[in-house]
Amino acid sequence: MPYTVLPTISEAARNALSAYDPLLQQLLVNRGIIEGDVAVQFLNPDYETQLHDPFLLTDMARAVDRVLTALRNNERIVIYSDYDCDGIPGGVMLHDFFTTIGHDNFENYIPHRHEEGYGFNVDSVPTLNERGVSLIITVDCGITDHAAVLAAQTLGIDVIVTDHHEPSDTLPQACAVINPKRDDAYPFSGICGTAVAFKLVQAVLRRGKEEGIITLKEGMEKWLLDLVGIATIADMMPLRDESRVFAHYGLTVLRKSPRLGLQHLLRKAGGNQRFLTEDDIGFTIAPRINAASRMDDPEDAFHMLRTRNEGEAGAYVAHLEKLNNERKGVVASMTREAKKRLKERSELSPVIVMGNPEWRPSLVGLVAHTLADELRRPVFLWGRDGKGIIKGSCRSGGMASVVSLMEGAAHAFLTHGGHHASGGFSVSHDRIHTLEEVLVQAFEAYTENVSESPHIHAVDLVITPDDITDALFRMIDMLAPFGPENPKPLFAIPDVMLDRVTVFGKQANHTKINIHTGRGRMDGIAFFKIPNAFANIPEEGKRVTLLAHLERSFFMGRLESRLRIVDVV
C-alpha cells in the first residue's frame, strides 16, 4: 500500500487535549503534541512570552557591548550577509535597524556568488579596511570563515559573527560568535540566520534603551519581523518553538508590510498581500530573491526589499522576474540532462554524485533537491565557478545528514558545510572523479539500514468528501504556518468519484481534478505532475483514493479552497 494511516491517539492524550475537537486532537498528536499546555502554546504563538532571552546566547553580552561602543563613537560598520533568502533579508533587517535608530555610518556588503563564493571572503577584508570599517557584523555566514575573521582582526577590524550553520571543531577568533548551535546555552537551536541577527537587535535595543543610547518607540522592532518570517520559512527552519513564533508573526507583519518591493512582487505574481501564506514565501517571494544571486547580482534583491521608492521597486521586481524565468529554463535543462545520465547507469548507488563544468554552481542545489526527493537518497551535484573552482550543493533526500556524510569523507573536499538536509562543498579536480565512491563509503558507515522500498505516505486521517467543510478548514488554519516538523495535514479520501480530469499550464505539466464534497464542487490540483505520474492514473468517472492536503489559495483576485493532490491510489 502506498500510504499508511498514523495511529489513533491514546486515551491519555485525548484527556490531556480534551479542550479541542477530536479531529484537532489527532492532528496535534500526529505532530508530537500530547500535553495541554504545549498545545496552548503551539496554537497561540505569543511574541511577548514565547521568545527566549537573547542574552542566553553565548557571547551576546560581548556583542552588544561592541555594537553600543560603535554607536557611541559613530564607527563605520559593515553588515556582511550571505546572498540567499536568509542572508539578504537579514542584511536588510540590520540596514533598517541602524537607519531607524539614526546610525547612518554603515554599509551592506553581499558577496557575489559566482565571483566570490559563499561566506565571509578573506579577499574582501582589505577593501573594507580601506573604507575605514572598524566593525563587521556577519549575517548567516562566518561560523567557519576563520581566515577572513583573522585577517580582519589583524587589521584592527572587530568581527561579530551571527550565524546558524553547523560550527566546525574550532570557532573563528572573532570579537563575538553568536550561534545557537555552538553550545547548549540557548534553549532552541533551530532558528535561521536572520533570526540570530534579530536576537542581536533585541539585545542591543534592550541595553541601548537602558543606557540612553537608543530612543525608539516600544515595539517598533516588530516591523522587522516580515524579514525574519521570510527567512525562517524560506530557509526551511523547523516550525516549532521560537521559529514558529517568528513564522507566525512574520506572516502577520508581511500581510500589512509597507515594503514597496514586496507589494509590487506579489501583484506581479497574482497574489494578494492580505491573504499571504507560507506558500507565497516558498513559491513566489523566495525564488525571486534567490534568483538575484543565482543569475546576476544579489544586491538587486537587497534593494528590492529595502527601497522606499515606487519606481525603483517596480524596476527591481521586473528585473527579478526576468532573472527567475531565466533560472527556471536553465534548471529545467540541467534536470533533463541529469535524469538522462542517470538512466544510462546500470544501477544507482546509495549516494549520487554528478556534475558538469558548464553547470552553474548557484543552480545545482535546485536540481539536487529535485533528484534527492525523487530518488530518496543523498545527491551531490557540482559545476565550475568563475574562478575555475569545482563547487557544488547537496541534498539529503531524507536518508542521511549530508553534513555527517561530508565529515565522514572530509579528506575528499576542499571545503564543506551546511545543514543536515542540505549543504555546499568544493572539490579539487583530482578528487572529483572518486567523490561518489568515497561518499558511498561514508554513507555505509553512517547507516547499515538503507531502505530501497517505495516511499510510503503517512496519512493523518481518513475522511470522506462530506467531511470537507468550513469547520475542517478552520481547524487546519489553526495549525498553520506549515513547514518542517509541522507538515500540512495529509488526508486519505477513499472511494471518490472523479468528475473531470484535465491537464493545464504552458507545458501541460499540471493536473486538475474535480470532485463533489460537503462544500459542493471542489477542484484538486497537482503541480508538475501529469495523470500518468500517479500511482493510479486518474480518469473521469473512475473511483479512486485521493491523498491530499486541504488549502486556501488567493490567486488573480479570488480566494478559493481546494485540494492539493499528493497522489492518487
* Residues 39-74: tens digit of each pLDDT: 999 999 999 999 999 999 999 999 999 999 999 999
552 vs 562: CA distance, rounded Å:
6
So what's the pLDDT on residue 454?
A: 47
So what's the pLDDT on residue 448?
A: 53
Contacts of 492 (CB under 8 A, 6+ apart): 3, 5, 459, 461, 462, 463, 545, 546, 547
Banded model confidence at residue 450, pLDDT cuts 50, 70, 90:
very low
State the average pLDDT over residues 292-314.
95
Residue 57, SS3 per DSSP: coil
Degrees, nearest 5: CA angle 328-330-336: 100
Q: What is the mean pLDDT of the chain?
A: 92
Banded model confidence at residue 452, pLDDT cuts 50, 70, 90:
very low
How does pLDDT run across 111-153, given as a tens digit for each residue? 998 888 889 999 999 999 999 999 999 999 999 999 999 999 9
469 vs 474: CA distance, rounded Å:
9
Grid cell digits, residue 388: 575555475
pLDDT at 541 over 80: yes
Burial label, 507 (beta-carbon count in 10 A; 0-12, 13-18, 19+): exposed
Peptide bond into 481 cis (omega under 30): yes
pLDDT at 155 over 70: yes
So what's the pLDDT on residue 557?
A: 67
How does pLDDT run across 236-281, given as a tens digit for each residue? 999 999 999 999 999 999 999 999 999 999 999 888 899 999 999 9
Task: Catalogue the E-assigned strands of 123-211.
Answer: 133-139, 158-162, 176-178
So what's the pLDDT on residue 555?
A: 63
106 close to 76: Cβ distance less than 8 angstroms: yes
Residue 425, SS3 per DSSP: strand
| CA 548 to centroid of chain Cα atoms | 23
So what's the pLDDT on residue 229?
A: 98
pLDDT at 178 over 60: yes
CA–CA distances in Å: residue 93 to residues 133, 182, 212, 230, 399: 20, 23, 22, 11, 35
CA–CA distances in Å: residue 254 to residues 203, 241, 251, 281: 23, 20, 5, 10
Cell 547580482 belongs to residue: 297
281 vs 270: CA distance, rounded Å:
13
Cell 519606481 belongs to residue: 311
- Top pLDDT among 529 and 86 is at 86
Banded model confidence at residue 449, pLDDT cuts 50, 70, 90:
very low
292 vs 302: CA distance, rounded Å:
9
What predicted TM-score, i.e. pTM, was given to this entire model? 0.89
Edge-to-edge strand ranges of the sheet holding 491-497: 461-462, 491-497, 543-555, 558-568, 520-526, 510-517, 500-504
In this structure, how many other beta carbons lie within 10 angstroms of the beta carbon of residue 35?
13
So what's the pLDDT on residue 556?
A: 64
- Which of 336-340, 380-384, 399-403, 544-548 is least confident? 399-403
pLDDT at 400 over 90: no
pLDDT at 227 over 90: yes
